[in-house]
Amino acid sequence: MATTAPKPNDKLGFFFCLAAALHAAIILGVGFTEELRQRSAPRLEITLAKHKSDPNPDADFLAQQDQQGSGTLEEKALLTTDKQRPMRDTLHSNPETLTLAKRKLAADNQKLLSTSAKADRQTAQADKEKEQVPEIIDGPADSTRLSREIASLQAKLDLQRQAYAKRPRIRTLTSSSTKRAIEAEYLHNWRTEVETIGNNNYPEQAKRLGLEGSLRLMVALLPDGSVREVEILQKSGHPLLDNAALRIVRLAAPFPPFPPELKREVDVLEIIRTWRFEQSTLTSEG
């Protein structure tokens, strides 16, 4: 009997059925395995309680201790959220904020140091004032000591008054001072004598060199007309003329004594004049 060879269409149908069976087995097997895995591992939800309260027999969730719940939801729900709270470090993420914080800290430290220094100064001042406060007098011994201190202070005051009274009465005559008739007359006579002596003893070397200049000179006289002091207040710029002025004062001294009225009021008479050496002539003006 002759054998019939399978047709190509029959082979194609056979392989198609075989592939469909294999895919169905794979899909169904994976699905059942995943469902069994999920059913075999039940999950236990535990809530962390922050405060402890009385035992609650009708608790909604498990926790390490009993706590009475609160809220506005009508249904039971866990204290959870699906969003993570953002954590930002504003000091490190913002350099400007860090700089402001450092400045504020430095200002607070400076203010604290200033307050401390001020408190130290106030304490030192209070201690100083406390030392200066006189002790309260209590008893005969303290009264005697106070009497001695008062007598000592009175004696010092008397000595100061005597020294002030004994100090010389000095009167200064300048171009800006107001002179009475008696002072004006004495000053006129003094100036005339100084210029006469000066022109008669004009320095020959200054004439030869043609030196000219002016200087400000103060001559202090005592009541008897003697010279107490001579001082050059402003130099002429030529030592020859400055020395000539001092020499003329020494040649003219002593001057006439003070008039009686002036002598009763003045112990020292200071005459300040400007001496001019010009064209071989000496002049004196206020």
Per-residue pLDDT reduced to its tens digit, 196-207: 999 999 999 999
Region of 202 on the Ramachandran plot (φ > 0 left; ψ -120 to 50 alpha; else beta): beta
Helices (H), 133-252: 140-166, 181-200, 204-209, 239-252
Give the range with max mean pLDDT: 46-50, 107-111, 173-177, 199-203.
Answer: 199-203
Q: What average pLDDT does this structure show over 185-193?
A: 94
Looking at residue 142, its pLDDT comes to: 76
Q: Does domain 170-285 have CATH number 3.30.1150.10?
A: yes
**pLDDT interval class at 36 (50, 70, 90):** very low
Query: What are the tens digits of pLDDT across the range 58-72?
Result: 555 555 555 555 554
Looking at residue 1, its pLDDT comes to: 47
DSSP state of 60: S
Q: What is the distance between the alpha carbons of residues 279 and 210, in angstroms, rounded to a whole number?
A: 8
Looking at residue 72, its pLDDT comes to: 45
Looking at residue 247, its pLDDT comes to: 97
Q: What average pLDDT does this structure show over 68-82?
A: 50
| Across 88-92, 116-120, 194-198, least confident range | 88-92
Query: What are the tens digits of pLDDT across the range 117-145?
Result: 666 666 666 666 655 545 555 566 678 88
Q: What is the distance between the alpha carbons of residues 17 and 139, in angstroms, rounded to a whole number?
A: 136
What pTM did the predictor assign? 0.45
Domain ranges, ordered by start, for the chain: 170-285
CA distances from 214 to 177, 207, 229 (A): 21, 15, 20
- Percent of the chain past pLDDT 70, that is, above it, reads 52
